[in-house]
Amino acid sequence: MARTSGGSGSAQVAAPSGKLVDRVPKVERVSPGTVKVYVWELPVRVWHWVNALAIFTLFVTGVYIGNPFVQPIPIEATEASNFFMGWARDIHFITAFIFTLGWIGRLYWLIWGNRYAAEHPFRKDFWKGMWETLKFYLFLPNKKQHYVGHNPLAMFSYWLLGIMSLIMVLTGFYMLFEPQPESFWGKLFAWVPWIFGPSFMVRSWHRIVAWLIMIFVVVHVYMAIRDDVLEKSGTLSSIFTGYKVAPEEAVREELAKKSD
The reported pLDDT for the residue numbered 76 is: 60
Q: Check residues 160 and 11 and name the one with the higher pLDDT.
A: 160
Q: Check residues 64 and 142 and name the one with the higher pLDDT.
A: 64
pLDDT of 162 above 90: yes
The backbone region for 118, taken as left when phi is positive above 0, alpha when psi lies in -120 to 50, beta otherwise, is beta
* pLDDT confidence band for 174 (50 / 70 / 90): very high
The reported pLDDT for the residue numbered 196 is: 96
In this structure, which amino acid lies at residue 7? G
pTM, full prediction: 0.80
| Whole-number average pLDDT of the chain | 82
Mind listing the domains of the chain with CATH numbers? 1-39+242-260 (no CATH), 43-74+81-231 (1.20.950.20)
| Cα-to-chain-centroid distance, residue 136 | 21
**Interacting residues of 160 by C-beta distance below 8 A, sequence separation 6+:** 216
pLDDT-wise least confident of 86-95, 116-125, 156-165: 116-125
| Interval 173-199 mean pLDDT | 94
Give per-residue pLDDT as tens, 77-110: 555 556 788 899 999 999 999 999 999 999 999 8
pLDDT of 119 above 90: no
* pLDDT confidence band for 126 (50 / 70 / 90): confident
**Type and span of the H or E element at 12:** strand 11-13
> Among residues 142, 118, 117, which one has the least CA distance to residue 130?
142
- Mean pLDDT is highest, among 13-17, 199-203, 251-255, for 199-203
| Interval 17-37 mean pLDDT | 63
Give per-residue pLDDT as tens, 192-219: 999 999 999 999 999 999 999 999 999 9
H helices of the chain, in order, are 42-66, 84-112, 124-137, 152-177, 184-188, 192-196, 199-231, 235-241, 248-258
Q: Check residues 247 and 75 and name the one with the higher pLDDT.
A: 247
Handedness of CA 156, 47, 87, 182 (dihedral sign): negative
Q: Check residues 171 and 121 and name the one with the higher pLDDT.
A: 171
pLDDT-wise least confident of 28-37, 78-87, 114-123: 78-87
pLDDT of 24 above 60: no
